Amino acid sequence: MQKFSTVDLLRDIKTVTMAADRQPVAITQHRRPRYVLMTYDEFEAMKSRGDPRHVYGPNEAPKELVDLIVPELDRLIDDGRDADG
């Protein structure tokens, strides 16, 4: 990812926006990445993909997920007991 400082953005917005037309660019402030500049179309596409993560409340998780997680949780609990002596 190409980086530009906030000063670069203020001095030469054309160069920064032309770079953002090709791919998202990082805008730095005090040498640290602070913002990302991208085209609106890229932003909309990113938003439409959504967040694949999901949070389940008590007793809401699908059985397939429970069947994967519970044995591993039991193992971790047993390992913790073994470590305590």
How many domains is the chain built from? 2
Indicate the range of 3-7, 19-23, 52-56, 65-69 predicted with least confidence: 52-56
Q: How far apart are CA 31 and CA 35, in angstroms?
A: 12
Q: pTM for the whole thing? A: 0.57
Same domain, 3 and 30: yes
How large is the greatest C-alpha to C-alpha distance in the chain, in angstroms?
65
* Range(s) of the domain holding residue 12: 1-53
Would you state the structure tokens that stand for residue 43, as one six-digit string? Answer: 């932003």
My answer on whether 11 and 35 are in the same domain is: yes
For the record, the structure tokens of 19 come out as 């770079």
Identify the H or E element spanning 27: strand 25-29
How many residues are recorded in the chain? 85
Q: What is the pLDDT of residues 45-65, one digit of tens each?
A: 988 888 778 888 888 999 999
CATH code of residue 10? 3.40.1620.10
